[in-house]
Structure 1
Amino acid sequence: MSVVWNEARKVIHILKQNNHNAYIVGGAVRDWLLQREIADVDIVTTATAEEVQSLFSKTFRMNNQHQTVIVRSNLEHFEVTTIRGQSIEDDLHLRDLTINSIAIDDQNELFDPTGGEVDLRAGRLRASNPADRMGEDPLRMLRVYRFVSELGFDIDTSLKEAILHNREAIQKVAVERVVKEWVKLIKGKQCNLALTGMVETKLYSFIPGLSLTKDSLMQLKKLPPLHEESDLICWTLFCLCSNYVDDMPLKRLALSNELLRGIRARLHFFEKRKMQSWLPLALYEATLDVALDVERLRELCGLPSYSFEELSRLWDELPIHDKSELAITGRDLLQSVKRPGPWVKEELRLAEVAVVTKELTNEKTVLLQALERRRAER
């Protein structure tokens, strides 16, 4: 048992000591049965949110439609939600897929009213009353393909029919929720199976924010598995497969500014790299991290690429790696020309470029004299 699992049992024990039934549910039980690594553990209980908060000293009430409280136990965090319906069986019948509708108590007794364990063994994605389950939350249709991508399971015929019938409803889902599922989908080891399925049901054409096309999905299918890649690499590849020249189409997805800046830089230097190898100035402007990612993107796209060792050697050979290493500052320039203005920034940039391209050595006297000569010649 993992640390997080054992800590979850302690939370359940406290709830039971106070006359509340409690169970581990959903993905944690599914992954435990599949002998996969368990990340998050969710708990359901007969206790109300207020009762949960009264029993634990470190809690946070989530502002959602469910009665959910975040409980901190040691260093672990658990979503503890009040059971829907009159029993654990009622709650499990309302969950998205049967493989996520299994619960376990602190005595290791399984509660599986929808046959999820059988579906796990059969490698099948199925839902209890699929039309109702998909209609209640249309994001579940994308989640189905996310699980195809992660697990390689087949989709039950009745569930596929429910997706075909309800697919347009996914247009109403908030893009922030779509983004989380989409990243998990394209990182799955069986991503190609999921993309093929989405083309078959045409669900892709109704997903908000992503502007997916059959062509962009086919381009994604050509890529090797991305399960070990960063979100930054995955989103940049998404842009390349969608023929985006910059990050502007991603603005509607509410991605972080930091992530968008990273994508923008990689797209820019990926395009430059099409025209030429890494020259010193381009490498300097890119930074080593961006350049390494560009080469990884080229490798994933089946293009010739520099090795880590080759690119690191070129980086090490640069005279400077940041403008802070330049031997002169704006103050040095103002000592000789006591006239503030945009010319200072311009001359510092000229010096920076000259040093990086080895036109001038990074010495204060050399740089100041060269800039003085340039001013005299103007």
Structure 2
Amino acid sequence: MGKAYNEAVTFLSLLKKHDITGWLVGGCVRDWIKNGRDYMPRDLDITVNASAEEIKLIFNRAHRMSNRHETAVLHHRGHVYELTALKGAGISEDLAARDFTCNAMAVDVNGNLLDPYDGAEAVHSGFIKAVDPSRCFREDPLRILRALRFVSQFGWSMDSRTEAACIKEIKELRGTAVERIKDECSLLLQGSFAERALRMADTFRLFEHLPEPVQAGPLCLWRYQINKLDDGLMRWAGLFLILYGGKGSAVLGSWSFSNKWKKELRHLLEAVKNHDYKQDSYTLFRAGREQAVRGYLLHQWKYDYTPSEKELESFYARLDALPIKTKKDLALDGKDILRHFPDLSSAHYGRLLYVLEKKVVIGEIANKKEQLLEEAAIFVKERGKESDA
């Protein structure tokens, strides 16, 4: 019973043997209150009356995190502990400096719960309450998104003072680093109650203060059930469709997505905009099976349509029927082309591969090396005539 909990409290005893006082804090305590002590938290956070360097002197396997806090990370007996120096003179000041009451609880070395702000009651009643609303969001406006993330993850509500403070400080979100906003939005979109969180964000007029602002009245979020979308990439694409309509691809650069995500999001947004799921086989081939399916489902979601099992099977059958599924499936590779056509320029080489794969996909020629070489010879001959002209 409560294996992770008991081992974490035992670790506090180990710290005490080294004259370090520690308390379990934050999300792990909140999750034990919410789910019971048998729950295995993702993070085990401990606040200690020691610096990261002092922790490293005691535990040579500990390493310091590259953040602005005095945090050391230690892998110990199957758990990962993050040990951070106390904020203030003691645990009372540390808890007073935290964001929400659900995160302002601690467990001491004897297993006693310290709960000066009734965080356990907030967890059981499903309310997000700031410890000090006027300070909380002024100190770090990103906490507004964090509060909305808890709405998305847990289906909780906000108390009136916390909600009023969010609305008051929402404009300060514009000064927050784009990377931090994007990461918090990603967590929000993963939640089981993301729709509820987005609707609340709309009432806060949060979308006017994003990296790419949306200057508009209340959005018709009730029309879009974003929780019907299966993964983070599709939910981001869905959010961009809600916020930016057909201009989503043009504003991707305002966010700090990786190049890979930018490419995949751009494909999805353009596929929906251009109805690409209805296009020819080559369009589906270029997208790749996974992205083609995503584009199809996203388009149906945009128009509030759920395809039947028969319709899905028909779409999958189109993908399965493609003569080749990837470029690697082409029976003629780059070495073959260069061996038969050593004088082919790099520009013409790329164009030739494009022509060959497209003709195979749309069924003009078979995916056989002999036929591909014949088609390549015709291509090279025509390029030679163009050069002579």
355-364 or 29-38, which deviates more? 29-38
278-287 or 88-97, which deviates more? 278-287
Displacement, 1:77? 2.7
Displacement, 1:371? 4.2
Quick one: which of 349, 360, 378 aligns to 2:365?
360
Partner of 1:34: 34
What is the distance in 1 between the residues matched to 2:308 and 2:280? 13
Partner of 2:18: 18
Are 1:189 and 1:227, in contact at CA under 8 Å, matched by a contact in 2?
A: no
What is the distance in 1 between the residues matched to 2:103 and 2:229? 24
Quick one: which of 164, 167, 170 aligns to 2:167?
164
Displacement, 1:95? 0.5
Matched residue type, 1:312: Y
What is the distance in 1 between the residues matched to 2:370 and 2:257? 46
User: What SS class does the counterpart of residue 245 from structure 2 fall into?
Assistant: coil
Displacement, 1:89? 1.9
Deviations 1:250-309 (A, max 9, x none): 22322211211211222233334x266253212211110111111231343223648554
Partner of 1:222: 223
Are 1:298 and 1:304, in contact at CA under 8 Å, matched by a contact in 2?
A: no
TM-score, L = length of structure 1 = 0.87
Matched residue type, 1:316: D
User: What SS class does the counterpart of residue 12 from structure 1 fall into?
Assistant: helix
Quick one: which of 239, 246, 252 aligns to 1:250?
252
Partner of 1:209: 211
Partner of 2:331: 327
> Gapped runs of 5+ residues in structure 2?
none
What is the distance in 2 between the residues matched to 1:258 and 1:374? 33
Provide closer, same or farther for how the CA distance between residues 275 and 201 of structure 1 changes in structure 2, counting only shifts above 3 A.
closer
Matched residue type, 1:89: S
What is the distance in 2 between the residues matched to 1:183 and 1:226? 13
Displacement, 1:41? 2.1
Displacement, 1:373? 4.9
Displacement, 1:91? 0.9
Partner of 1:315: 319
Are 1:89 and 1:111, in contact at CA under 8 Å, matched by a contact in 2?
A: no
Deviations 1:159-202 (A, max 9, x none): 22322332222222111111122122233333333333333333
What is the distance in 2 between the residues matched to 1:11 and 1:22? 9
What is the distance in 1 between the residues matched to 2:277 and 2:54? 65
Q: Matches of residues 129-168 of structure 1 in structure 2 within 5 Å?
A: 129-168=132-171
Provide closer, same or farther for how the CA distance between residues 210 and 95 of structure 1 changes in structure 2, counting only shifts above 3 A.
farther
Provide closer, same or farther for how the CA distance between residues 209 and 5 of structure 1 changes in structure 2, counting only shifts above 3 A.
farther
What is the distance in 1 between the residues matched to 2:314 and 2:90? 62
Matched residue type, 2:28: A
TM-score, L = length of structure 2 = 0.85
Displacement, 1:82? 0.9
Quick one: which of 97, 109, 113 aligns to 1:110?
113
What is the distance in 2 between the residues matched to 1:199 and 1:322? 42
Q: Matches of residues 167-178 of structure 1 in structure 2 within 5 Å?
A: 167-178=170-181
Provide closer, same or farther for how the CA distance between residues 69 and 228 of structure 1 changes in structure 2, counting only shifts above 3 A.
farther
What is the distance in 1 between the residues matched to 2:297 and 2:123? 35
Displacement, 1:113? 0.6
Q: Matches of residues 181-220 of structure 1 in structure 2 within 5 Å?
A: 181-206=184-209, 208-214=210-216, 218-220=219-221
Matched residue type, 1:24: L
Provide closer, same or farther for how the CA distance between residues 166 and 331 of structure 1 changes in structure 2, counting only shifts above 3 A.
closer
Displacement, 1:364? 2.0
User: What SS class does the counterpart of residue 347 from structure 1 fall into?
Assistant: helix
Q: Matches of residues 82-93 of structure 1 in structure 2 within 5 Å?
A: 82-93=85-96
> Gapped runs of 5+ residues in structure 1?
none
Are 2:152 and 2:195, in contact at CA under 8 Å, matched by a contact in 1?
A: yes
Matched residue type, 1:175: V
Are 2:189 and 2:235, in contact at CA under 8 Å, matched by a contact in 1?
A: yes
Q: Does 1:270 align with 2:275?
A: no
Displacement, 1:117? 1.2
What is the distance in 2 between the residues matched to 1:371 and 1:16? 76
Q: Percent sequence identity over matched residues?
A: 27
Are 2:202 and 2:219, in contact at CA under 8 Å, matched by a contact in 1?
A: no
RMSD: 2.8
Provide closer, same or farther for how the CA distance between residues 141 and 344 of structure 1 changes in structure 2, counting only shifts above 3 A.
closer
191-200 or 231-240, which deviates more? 191-200
Displacement, 1:209? 0.9
Matched residue type, 2:321: E
Partner of 2:263: 261
Are 1:98 and 1:127, in contact at CA under 8 Å, matched by a contact in 2?
A: yes
Are 1:328 and 1:364, in contact at CA under 8 Å, matched by a contact in 2?
A: yes
Displacement, 1:330? 4.5
Displacement, 1:115? 1.1
Are 2:137 and 2:166, in contact at CA under 8 Å, matched by a contact in 1?
A: yes
What is the distance in 1 between the residues matched to 2:172 and 2:237? 28
User: What SS class does the counterpart of residue 366 from structure 2 fall into?
Assistant: coil
What is the distance in 2 between the residues matched to 1:365 and 1:100? 68
9-18 or 177-186, which deviates more? 9-18
